Structures are given as C-alpha cells and as structure tokens.
C-alpha cells in the first residue's frame, strides 16, 4: 500500500453529484468540503443551498444545511450566524442567485460585514432554467434569452460582482478564482481556505468568486468549456484578490 495523497473528503456525503459530466460545481464542492474538513470545523458548519443547478447540494455536503429562496442565501446565512455565532456558516450561490435576484442581499451582507463565507459560482448563464442570459453573460454570448448574442445597449455590460463588492467597506476578503486547470484549482483552494479562516478569526465577510463553466448550455465539450473559460471569461473577469484582511489591517 502506498501513501494516500488524495482521497474523497469526509466533508462530502457519499451521495453522487447530480451534475452534468464535466460540470465544475463538483470541483468547487470538493474544495469547500476539503477546506471545512481540514480546518476542523465540519461538525459545526451550516451551509446554505441556493436556487440554481446546485439547489440540491444539501445532499452533497456532509454538514447541516438549509435550502434558501432564490437570492436570499446571504439573508438566511445572516439569520443563522446571528443566532449561532460560534457556528461556521457558508452560502453557495450561482450568478443568477447572487448577481441578479439576490444583489440586495449580498450587498447588504457584505455591508454589515456578516461573518460568513460566500461561495459564488459564476458561469455566465442560467443553467438550471435552461440556458437563459445571466447578468454575467458576456457581450455577444448567445443564450436562450439573448438569441442574437448579448447586446450591451439592450442588456448592459456583464456585472463584475467581486470588483463591486470590494468597494464595500464591510467586505473583508474578496477573491476571484478559476478551476480550469489543476494549477488554478490548487490556487482556488487556497482562496477558499483563506475565506473560511477569515470567518473563523471573526474578521467578517468573505467571498470567493469561481469562474465556472456550463458545457451543456454553452454547447461545448467539458474540456472546450474550460478552454472557453480561459480564453473568454478570464480576460473579462480577471482573477485575483480584490480585498484582504491584511490590507484592512494596514489601513486601520
């Protein structure tokens, strides 16, 4: 027997993911689960499932979960965290959920610097409802509700949530990551860990934005979808840190 260097995290349940082949929700779930387990907080973590493709992720995380109304996960997280400040609370939200219907909730959770962690999955499309335009859909990108390609004169330019949230004084840690190759997956995990550490240390609001893919609704093979992330999404949604606790410490 060799030395096991990688195995399925106990932060995940035994249940198989219901996602389409090649959907990066699975990678992101794994990273969150691994971090929670490695930080030793799995048994006191409470997660919040959104509305979207990951609506049923309460079945996949091996911790207590609440399923929230569309966009309201930050409010639900606030309710939980305020009455149970010693628990670790995270929400998991897609771009329709967080960047469209739930903009008020995410902005104000950041503004109050709620001591929660938000996992934001941006794949530039509404996956669950059948490939409609999202607020993050790229200019020219064809979806079922932007059949001629997103026209900025009609639908505006894609919203950059991390940049926007980073302008909020209460936001403590904001980072955008991608999972299109192993190197970036490893970087992404560090960001998730940092986000949860920010919460564990009581420093306030943390959010990690994942640039993600949707092979099925984009009409691409899983690998082509990741290439599209690299070639089209990342140039518009630059990766990196937008806000960190250290920076806040410096400014204090």
Partner 1 sequence: MAKVMMKGNEAMALAAIKGGCKAFFGYPITPQSELPEYLARHMHKHGGVFLQAESEVAAINMVYGASGAGARVLTSSSSPGIALKQEGISYIAGAELPAVIINVMRGGPGLGGIQPSQADYKQVTRGGGNGDYYVLAYAPENLQETVNVIKEAFDLADLYRNPVMIAVDGLIGQMMEPVDLDVEVPKRDLPEKDWATIGTYGKREPVNVNSLFLDPQDLENHSFKLAEKYKLMKKNEQRYEFVNMENAELVIVAYGTMARIVRSALEILKNEGINVGLLRPISIWPFPEKAFKEFPDTVKGILTCELSTGQMLDDVKICNNGKLPINFFGRTGGMVPEPEEIVKAVKDMIGGLK
Partner 2 sequence: MPKGRIIVDVDKCKGCGLCLDACPLHLLELANDTVNKKGYQPMRIHTPEKCIGCANCAMMCPDVVITVEKL
Chain residues that interact with partner 1, rule: CB under 8 A: 13, 42-46, 48-49, 55-56, 58-59, 61-69, 72, 75-84, 87, 104-105, 107-108, 111
Q: Which of 39, 133, 181, 211 binds partner 2 (CB under 8 A)?
A: 181
Contact 107, 168 (CB under 8 A): yes
- Residue 19 contact among partner 1, partner 2, none, beta carbon within 5 to 8 Å by kind: partner 2
Contact 74, 147 (CB under 8 A): no
The region of 135-143, 157-165, 174-182, 194-202 touching partner 2 under the rule CB under 8 A is 174-182
**CA-based angle 202:188:20, to the nearest 5?**
115
For residue 221, what are its two tokens? 């093979």
Q: Which of 10, 144, 167, 223 binds partner 2 (CB under 8 A)?
A: 223
Establish if 221 lies at the interface with partner 2 (CB under 8 A). Answer: yes
Establish if 25 lies at the interface with partner 2 (CB under 8 A). Answer: yes
Neighbours of 94 (CB within 10 A): 32
Contact 217, 127 (CB under 8 A): yes
- Residues contacting 196, CB < 8 A, separation 6+: 35, 36, 39, 41, 88, 90, 117, 206
Cα separations (Å) of 60 from 13, 48, 80, 150? 5, 12, 20, 34
Looking at the Cβ atoms of 167 and 221, the one nearer to partner 2 is: 221
Q: Which of 35, 62, 186, 196 binds partner 2 (CB under 8 A)?
A: 186
Establish if 153 lies at the interface with partner 2 (CB under 8 A). Answer: no
Looking at the Cβ atoms of 13 and 67, the one nearer to partner 2 is: 13
Q: What secondary structure letter does DSSP report for 58?
A: G
Shortest gap between Cβ of 39 and partner 1 (angstroms)? 14
- Using DSSP's 3-state secondary structure scheme, residue 159 falls into coil
Establish if 226 lies at the interface with partner 2 (CB under 8 A). Answer: yes
Task: From 33, 129, 55, 46, select the one nearest 85 (Cα to Cα).
Answer: 46
Looking up tokens 């986000």 gives 195
- Residue 44 contact among partner 2, partner 1, none, beta carbon within 5 to 8 Å by kind: partner 1
Interface ranges with partner 2 (CB under 8 A): 1-9, 12, 16-17, 19-27, 30, 179, 181-182, 185-186, 215, 221-223, 226
């Amino acid at each position: 027997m060799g030395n096991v260097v990688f195995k399925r995290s106990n932060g995940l349940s035994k249940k198989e993911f219901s996602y389409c082949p090649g959907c990066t929700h699975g990678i992101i779930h794994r990273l969150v689960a691994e971090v929670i387990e490695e930080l030793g907080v799995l048994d006191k973590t409470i997660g919040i499932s959104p509305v979207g493709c990951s609506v049923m992720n309460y079945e996949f995380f091996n911790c207590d979960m609440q399923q929230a109304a569309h966009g309201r996960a930050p409010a639900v997280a606030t309710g939980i965290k305020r009455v149970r400040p010693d628990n670790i609370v995270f929400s998991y939200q897609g771009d329709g959920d967080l960047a469209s219907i739930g903009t008020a909730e995410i902005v104000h959770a950041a503004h109050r610097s709620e001591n929660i962690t938000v996992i934001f999955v941006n794949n530039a499309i509404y996956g669950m409802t059948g490939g409609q335009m999202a607020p993050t859909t790229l200019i020219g990108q064809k979806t079922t509700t932007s059949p001629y390609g997103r026209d900025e004169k009609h639908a505006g330019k894609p919203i950059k949530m991390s940049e926007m949230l980073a302008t909020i004084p209460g936001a403590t840690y904001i980072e955008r990551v991608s999972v299109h190759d192993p190197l970036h997956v490893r970087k992404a995990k560090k960001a998730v860990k940092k986000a949860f550490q920010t919460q564990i240390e009581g420093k306030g609001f943390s959010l990690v934005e994942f640039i993600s893919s949707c092979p099925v609704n984009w009409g691409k093979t899983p690998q082509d979808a990741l290439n599209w992330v690299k070639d089209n999404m990342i140039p518009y949604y630059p990766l990196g840190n937008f806000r960190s606790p250290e920076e806040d410490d410096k400014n204090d």
